């Protein structure tokens, strides 16, 4: 019993800011504009609930206000006639998901979609539209004041360098473990976790229409730094040829990283950069794998230290928007396999069907049908199925409560107290659980019973919910379903496509067109997809399929690390330009091998190119014609040739998996 009371008290403490915001906004809106605008309170309380633990700038509130005006206007237009109702209820939800959500931020659409959907429940007329816009303006103003006050009182300022110092300190400890020979699975897992953490931190700067920021670029580089250390652990081929000089170099690097952690600043890192360059210039390691690691690692660390003391020239917002990244994001979304397209279509179908029926059926409170459908349909297939079980249970219990309690409340004030108390408890419950809709139902039915008979309100609530469950069930199962298994297969295909995209980055670098922004975008997207695929495969019960999937993912990660190292060696001038033709042939051959429908073999790397039957060297054209495997001449750089051989060995081991998922 004590634990139950403690849990309830903890939930109330967490929900209290939301409850307080609701009461304040409810009093302001109802007293200032009237009870018919109470729907605005529910919408902006939900926004406060999802945003109060985050920091926001003035631009966020301006964007929210302008978008709210637009969505209010669209809600008004959708009520004018049936064609507009159908058109807008299909296009608006589709665009909101397409532009604001992603596979890694699946509910990014929710706040804006809720504004549109809920304002449609009781759409404004031409005469009441100015009043509704005024109510929205007041709500955004109160929301802004409340969020800023909460941030000042309770939120700690997030400082990027604090996260970076923690990460670099842990990396130094791990390098000492590596130097001591402790290459355990735990060491590898800790490094990959650090890498994934910084890829997630940088992901916000790679979203659709996201502005490029220095912080995002910094997180990108940190993620690459950890990736290079992590790859050193997974590639154990270097362990048998290390000596005391190699071990000492790793310990020195760990000690240097601790110095970086303690002394780096946003004002002057010249001493740290000079030490890194001296380390780099004085390095004379015989082990090729370690030599590649030290060069790539220290080069990236120098870039990180310079990034804060030598920031890029300030640019206006429109110049910070990467057109290439936006086009790449649009291409990823414009496929029936993408999460954004599949869920956008499902939500559009549900909203179009439900609001069209609500428009055509002249029954009071029929808008509960689209409202329930909107709340039942979630981006995740499994979550929608779960809500279709829990929401009917909670709604039925809520209807029973209202049926028993409301007849005993004889005054309007008493009914308001009951409704507001129920809603306060609702904010303490977890959305999607069976108890959450109990209290939302009590609130909605109490207000509805003020204008229609109680039994009619209860009947309509249950009927609309039943219709919503049927509609969402059909759409969730038959209109582009997105189960976890479906998304896993799509993720695997995406990883192979990104492999080919990174080869294209290497090709462009060989032609002299270096695009660091696109390279970082692909790397971040690869690792976000990789993390989601790994989470799914690790959640499966032990089986041969699980083991094979885990092995394939690890090798794909190694392949991408090797591609990134090739790109580094080419960018930094370690490769003779005379080897570029062979590398271009290699890129074309590897892209061809990992293209759907292709069965051509991967190329080979030997001392010299072998002649074909007619005495001419085998070319990429021969390969694409399927006549012979391509034999690539060495690049002339021992480090690059080492990476290429590792890449070809690993790539060969996942060709069967590519055939399965392509």
Query: Which pLDDT tens digit goes with each residue over 292-339?
Result: 888 888 888 888 888 766 655 444 544 445 566 667 677 778 888 888
What is the reported pLDDT for 232? 79
The answer to whether domain 160-317 has CATH 1.10.760 is: no
Mean pLDDT, range 469-481, rounded to an integer = 93
Q: What is the pLDDT of residues 56-74, one digit of tens each?
A: 889 999 999 999 999 999 9
pLDDT value of position 522:
86
Residue 609 has pLDDT above 50, yes or no: no
Spatial separation of the C-alpha atoms in residues 428 and 61, rounded to whole Å: 26
Separation between Cα atoms, residue 224 and residue 191, nearest integer Å: 11
Distances (CA, A) of 289 to 495, 634, 646, 649: 25, 17, 10, 15
132 vs 188, residue with greater confidence: 132
A 10 A CB-CB count for 349 gives 20
Which tens digit of pLDDT belongs to each residue from 133-145? 999 999 999 999 9
Phi, psi of 629 (to 5 degrees): -65, 145
- Rounded average pLDDT over 46-57: 91
Q: Half-sphere exposure of 452 toward its Cβ, with a 13 Å CA cutoff?
A: 14
Tell me which of 127-136, 561-570, 599-608 is least confident.
599-608
Share of the chain above pLDDT 70, in %: 88
Q: Are 99 and 111 in contact (CB under 8 A)?
A: no
Q: Which of 183-192, 576-585, 647-656 has the highest mean pLDDT?
A: 647-656
Average the pLDDT over each of 129-138, 213-222, 541-550 and give the range with the smallest value.
213-222
pLDDT band at 458 (very low <50, low <70, confident <90, very high): very high
- Short-list 609, 90, 175, CA closest to 354: 90
Q: Is the pTM of this model over 0.85?
A: no
Q: Which two tokens stand for residue 477?
A: 């199962």
Asked if 651 and 558 count as a contact pair (C-beta separation under 8 A), the reply is no
Q: For the chain, what is the mean pLDDT?
A: 85
Helix boundaries (H) for 511-624: 516-539, 544-571, 580-593, 620-624
Span 531-550, mean pLDDT? 90
Mean per-residue pLDDT, 434-448: 93
First to last CA, the chain: 54
Task: Inform me whether the pLDDT recorded for 259 exceeds 70.
Answer: yes
Give the residue-averaged pLDDT of 459-469.
Answer: 95
């Amino acid at each position: 019993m004590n634990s139950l009371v403690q849990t309830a008290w903890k939930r109330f403490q967490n929900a209290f800011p939301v409850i307080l915001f609701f009461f304040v906004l409810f009093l302001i809106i109802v007293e200032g504009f009237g009870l018919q605008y109470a729907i605005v309170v529910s919408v902006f309380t939900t926004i406060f609930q999802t945003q109060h633990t985050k920091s926001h700038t003035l631009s966020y509130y301006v964007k929210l206000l302008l978008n709210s005006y637009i969505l209010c206007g669209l809600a008004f237009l959708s009520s004018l006639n049936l064609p507009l109702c159908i058109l807008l209820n299909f296009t608006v939800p589709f665009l909101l998901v397409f532009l604001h959500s992603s596979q890694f931020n699946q509910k990014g659409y929710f706040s804006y979609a809720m504004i549109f959907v809920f304002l449609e429940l009781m759409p404004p007329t031409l005469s009441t539209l100015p009043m509704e816009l005024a109510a929205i303006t007041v709500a955004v103003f109160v929301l802004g004041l409340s969020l800023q006050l909460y941030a000042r009182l309770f939120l700690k300022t997030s400082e990027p360098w604090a996260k970076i110092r923690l990460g670099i300190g842990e990396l130094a400890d791990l390098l000492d473990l590596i130097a001591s020979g402790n290459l355990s699975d735990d060491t590898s897992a800790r490094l990959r976790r650090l890498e994934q953490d910084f890829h997630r931190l940088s992901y916000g700067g790679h979203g659709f229409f996201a502005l490029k920021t220095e912080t995002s670029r910094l997180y990108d580089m940190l993620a690459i730094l950890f990736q290079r250390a992590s790859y050193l652990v997974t590639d154990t081929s270097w362990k048998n040829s290390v000596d005391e000089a190699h071990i000492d170099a790793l310990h020195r690097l760990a000690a240097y990283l601790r110095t970086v952690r303690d002394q780096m600043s946003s004002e002057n890192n010249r001493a740290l950069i000079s030490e890194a360059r001296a380390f780099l210039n004085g390095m004379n390691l015989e082990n090729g794998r370690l030599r590649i690691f030290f060069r790539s690692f220290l080069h990236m660390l120098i870039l990180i230290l310079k990034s804060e003391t030598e920031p890029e020239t300030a640019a206006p917002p429109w110049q910070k928007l990467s057109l290439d990244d936006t086009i790449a994001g649009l291409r990823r979304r414009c496929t029936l396999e993408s999460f954004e397209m599949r869920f956008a279509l499902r939500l559009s179908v549900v909203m179009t069907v439900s609001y069209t029926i609500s428009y055509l059926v002249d029954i009071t409170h029929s808008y509960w049908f689209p409202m329930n459908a909107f709340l039942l349909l979630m981006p995740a297939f499994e979550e929608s199925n779960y809500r279709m079980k829990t929401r009917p249970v909670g709604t039925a219990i809520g209807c029973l409560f209202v049926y028993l309690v409301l007849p005993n409340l004889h005054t309007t004030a008493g009914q308001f107290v009951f409704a507001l108390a129920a809603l306060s408890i609702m904010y303490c419950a977890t959305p999607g659980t069976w108890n959450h809709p109990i209290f939302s139902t009590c609130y909605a039915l109490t207000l509805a019973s003020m204008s229609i008979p109680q039994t009619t309100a209860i009947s309509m609530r249950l009927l609309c919910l039943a219709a919503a469950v049927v509609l969402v069930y059909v759409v969730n199962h038959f209109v582009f379903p997105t189960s976890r298994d479906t998304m896993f297969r799509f993720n695997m295909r995406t990883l192979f496509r990104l492999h080919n995209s990174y080869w294209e980055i290497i090709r462009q670098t060989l032609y002299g067109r270096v695009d660091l922004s696109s390279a970082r975008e692909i790397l971040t997207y690869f690792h976000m997809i990789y993390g989601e695929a790994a989470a799914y495969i690790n959640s499966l019960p032990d089986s041969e399929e699980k083991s094979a999937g885990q092995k394939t993912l690890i090798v794909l990660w190694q392949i991408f690390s090797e591609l990134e190292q090739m790109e580094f060696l080419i960018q930094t001038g370690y490769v003779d330009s005379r080897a570029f033709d062979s590398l271009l042939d290699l890129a074309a051959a590897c892209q061809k091998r990992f293209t759907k429908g292709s069965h051509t073999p991967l190329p080979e790397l030997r001392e010299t190119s072998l002649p074909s039957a007619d005495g001419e060297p085998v070319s990429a054209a021969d390969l694409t014609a399927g006549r012979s495997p391509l034999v690539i001449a060495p690049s002339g750089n021992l480090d690059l040739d080492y990476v290429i051989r590792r890449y070809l060995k690993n790539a060969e081991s996942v060709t069967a998996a590519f055939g399965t998922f392509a």
